[in-house]
């Protein structure tokens, strides 16, 4: 993809390559490098966002082990009790 060898072909004579060395010329142009860089940045930022969302769900999500007790809201008492099946809190 964008590279070409100089010379184009190597020959094998016995145990030696002729010529013994070759070099690659060319490579990706600036547009391809920029596109790849933007792809990597997009993938990384998507991963960071997904990780942040997962952390927020774990930290701020509802916890079944947390129980709500009766409390006062100013002078008024708010009583909390379980429903008949014991699954939900009824106020």
- Cβ atoms 80, 91 nearer than 8 A: yes
For residue range 15-52, list pLDDT tens digits in order. Answer: 766 666 666 666 677 888 899 999 999 999 999 999 99
What's the pLDDT band for 88 if we cut at 50, 70, 90? Answer: low
Assigned token pair, 3: 């590279």
Q: Residue 91 pLDDT more than 70?
A: no
What is the dihedral sign for C-alpha 17, 11, 23, 7?
positive
**Of residues 21 and 55, which shows the higher confidence score?**
55
Q: What is the pLDDT of residue 35?
A: 94
Give the span between the Cα atoms of 38 and 73, in whole angstroms. Answer: 53
Strands, E assignment, the chain: 3-6, 11-13, 16-18, 23-26, 71-73, 76-78, 81-82, 89-90
Q: Residue 86 pLDDT more than 80?
A: no
């Amino acid at each position: 993809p964008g590279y070409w060898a100089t010379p184009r072909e190597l020959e094998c004579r016995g145990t030696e390559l002729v010529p013994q060395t070759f070099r690659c010329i060319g490579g990706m142009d600036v547009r391809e490098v920029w596109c790849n860089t933007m792809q990597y940045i997009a993938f990384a930022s998507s991963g960071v966002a997904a990780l942040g969302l997962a952390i927020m769900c774990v930290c701020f999500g509802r916890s079944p082990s947390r129980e709500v007790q009766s409390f006062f809201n100013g002078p008024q008492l708010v009583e909390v009790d379980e429903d008949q099946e014991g699954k939900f809190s009824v106020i």
